[in-house]
Amino acid sequence: MKMIRLGGGVLLAAFMVFMGSQKFGADNPIFARIAEQSGIDLFEPVIRMATGVAELVAAVLILLAIFMGLFRGLGALLSTGIIGGAIVFHLSPWLGISAPVGVDANGELVYSAMLFIMAVVFFVISAALTWLDREELGKFLPGKG
């Protein structure tokens, strides 16, 4: 179990840092599309940046759990929620499974299911790590511990 927590945790933390760091910079085609399709301008840039911060916080919590034994399960639980939200948006008419991932040489958006597939894979890893730390997570509930 310890090796699963270590390997899965490091992999998940790296994924969260990678995805979170991409939220800070130029406009993001994913969040721009959601804003356009939903008519909710808050998605770009406010929710994009808030999502990036949450992903980086989840990565830090996962690494603290792995290397210092602190806050076990909280980072995995947070990442499960973040990635679960991404899956919900991919399944919505606002984004879709095949989402914009970049621009080609002609300036046209390129669509791919790659982000959806990655979300499903890392959701499973997040959920598994959350389940492995379910007893530790119980200590954070009121009246527990």
For residue 140, being part of any structural domain is answered with: no
pLDDT tens-digit profile of 47-61?
999 999 999 999 999
Total domains, the chain? 1
- Measured distance CA(124)–CA(7) in Å, rounded: 14
Residue 13 has pLDDT above 80, yes or no: yes
For residue 142, being part of any structural domain is answered with: no
For residue 118, being part of any structural domain is answered with: yes
Length of the chain: 145
pLDDT tens-digit profile of 77-122?
999 999 999 999 999 999 999 999 888 999 898 999 999 999 999 9
For residue 115, being part of any structural domain is answered with: yes
- pTM of the predicted protein model: 0.91
At 1, the pLDDT band (50, 70, 90 cuts) reads confident
For residue 17, being part of any structural domain is answered with: yes
For residue 143, being part of any structural domain is answered with: no
For residue 59, being part of any structural domain is answered with: yes
3-state secondary structure 82-130: HHHHHHHHHCCCCCCCCEEEEECCCCCEEEECHHHHHHHHHHHHHHHHH
For residue 66, being part of any structural domain is answered with: yes
Q: What range does the domain containing 54 cover?
A: 2-135
